[in-house]
Amino acid sequence: MNTSPDFGPFAALGILGFVLWLVFTAGIIVLSVWITYTVIWRAVRRGLREFYSDRPELR
């Protein structure tokens, strides 16, 4: 007779939690890189537009 407790469901829950944590962390990293890239790209485009513009109000 086997009297040892069954830890299978706890292990599955731990593995599922770890996988969800990895996906959530990767999503946060991708979102922060995308936001940083967007902000920098818009600043560079605006700076280039102002630098090469012939209109004095943009200089």
CA diameter of the chain: 90
Which residues have C-beta within 8 Å of that of residue 53, sequence separation ≥ 6? 59
User: Beta strands of the chain (E only): which ranges?
Assistant: none
Which pTM does this prediction carry?
A: 0.69
pLDDT value, residue 59:
55
| More reliable by pLDDT, 21 or 9 | 21
Cα separation, 55 vs 52, in Å, equals 9
Which residue has tokens 């593995």? 15
Type of residue found at 22 = L
The answer to whether the beta carbons of residues 59 and 50 sit under 8 Å apart is: yes
Q: What is the pLDDT of residues 37-54, one digit of tens each?
A: 999 999 999 988 888 887
